[in-house]
Amino acid sequence: MLAIFIKRILIAIPVLFAVASITFFLIKIAPGGPFDADRAVSPQVLKNLNEAYNLDASNWEQYLDYMGGLLQGDLGPSFRFPGRSVTEMIATGLPVTFELAFYAILIALLMGIFSGVLAALKRNTFLDFIPMAIAMIGICVPTFLMGPLLVLIFGINLEVLPVSGWDQLPGDKILPSLTLGFAYAAYIARLSRGGMLEILNQDFIRTARAKGLTERMVVIKHAMQGGLIPVISFLGPAIAGLLAGSFVVETIFQIPGLGRFYVEAAFNRDYTMILGTTIFFSAMIIFFNLMSDLAALWLNPRSRDAS
């Protein structure tokens, strides 16, 4: 267990380093500097700006400088918002995005596992068909359509929930969390149904039933532990997906989180911000993937005992 953990960490470090380097040089070959976008700046001002942001140094010097800063958690200044550092902006947006992602995952797990397990237990009845049909809808209706539709129904037609914002009006967190969580609820429902069906056919479940355990005990103590491993493995990649989803959801609902910052940075060509958030996102996703893999390993008794 520990050996796997250390090995994975040792792989993650060079990967992150490579990501940072590749992104850095990709941005260096991008056409146009950060200051020649919309309004013309006099040559003197441009020179001063370049000096202030160390852009007149050679690419190598800038690279070493940046990497040095990165090791200390300094991602450099934002090109678009003078006086603010990228680290600072990430620190402002991150709690919001985390909160949104947390609610979304919570909704996804509760809805997904409940309906998936139920569907597996009541296989081929309408308690199976209906949740699975809804799950199919969740998979086929993209987030960028689901969000506006929910706004249209609950915000504009029924006028029961706020249409945008975060932490400003009561209930304004419900629609964004639901929008982001729904697609994952659908995947989790399908995964847990599949996982449960596989486990429920196995011999140790028959043994558990034969020794007279109640159906509830069989399901909760024996079947779910193994049947939900696919769900745990899915959580790591899901975090990566949630991030992409947060771009959309934060844009639709005008939430001041990291996802919206990133999309805005992409539009504004705020290169340092793009670079910083890319590295940060990569680190986060590598970390969550690692965590979900380890959790899945640990939950599976065969691999737990082997290592």
Partner 1 sequence: MNNNSLWSDALYRLSKNKAAMFGGFILILLIFSAALAPIIAPYSYSYQDLNLGASPPSSEHLLGTDILGRDLLSRILYGARISLLVGFVATGVALVIGVSWGIVAGYIGGRVDSIMMRIVDILYGLPFIIFIILLMVIFGRNLWLLFGAIGAVEWLTMARIVRGQVIGLKNQEFVMAAQAMGVSNLQMFRRHLLPNILGPIAVYATLTIPQVMLLEGFLSFLGLGIQPPMSSWGTLIKDGVESMEEYSWLLIYPGITFTITLFALNFFGDGLRDALDPKTSEN
Site string for partner 1, 17-46 (x = CB under 8 A): --x---x--xx-xxx---------------
The residue within the footprint of partner 1, chosen from 68, 82, 95, 142 (CB under 8 A), is 142
Choose between 52 and 153: whose C-beta lies nearer to partner 1.
153
Q: With binding defined as CB under 8 A, does residue 294 bind partner 1?
A: no
Q: Tell me, what amino acid is at 7?
A: K
Q: Which residues of 188-208 are buried (b: 16+ CB within 10 A; e: fewer)?
A: bbbbbbbbbbebbeeeebeeb
- 215 with 242: CB under 8 angstroms? no
Q: How far is the CB of 82 from partner 1 (least distance, A)?
A: 21
CA 139 to each of CA 104, 127, 129, 177, 254: distance values in angstroms, whole numbers, following the listed order = 15, 19, 15, 16, 24
Q: Is 130 in the site for partner 1 (CB under 8 A)?
A: no
In angstroms, what is the minimal distance from the CB of 18 to partner 1? Answer: 9
- C-alpha to C-alpha distance for 248 and 245, rounded to whole angstroms: 5
Alpha-carbon distance values, 207 to 197, 224, 301 (Å): 16, 15, 17
Residue 266 makes contact with partner 1 by CB under 8 A = yes
Instruction: Assess contact for 74 and 85: CB atoms under 8 A.
Output: yes
213 vs 283 by CB, closer to partner 1: 283
Q: Please calculate the CA angle 107-113-116 and round it to the nearest 5 degrees.
A: 125
133 belongs to the binding site for partner 1 (CB under 8 A): no
Taking CB under 8 A as the rule, which mask of x and - marks residues 215-254 in contact with partner 1? ----------------------x--x--xx--xx--xx--
Residue 281 carries which side chain, given as an amino acid letter?
Answer: F
Where on the chain is the footprint of partner 1 (CB under 8 A)? 11, 15, 19, 23, 26-27, 29-31, 136, 139-145, 148-149, 151-152, 156, 194, 197-198, 237, 240, 243-244, 247-248, 251-252, 262-263, 266-267, 269, 274, 277-278, 281-282, 285-286, 289
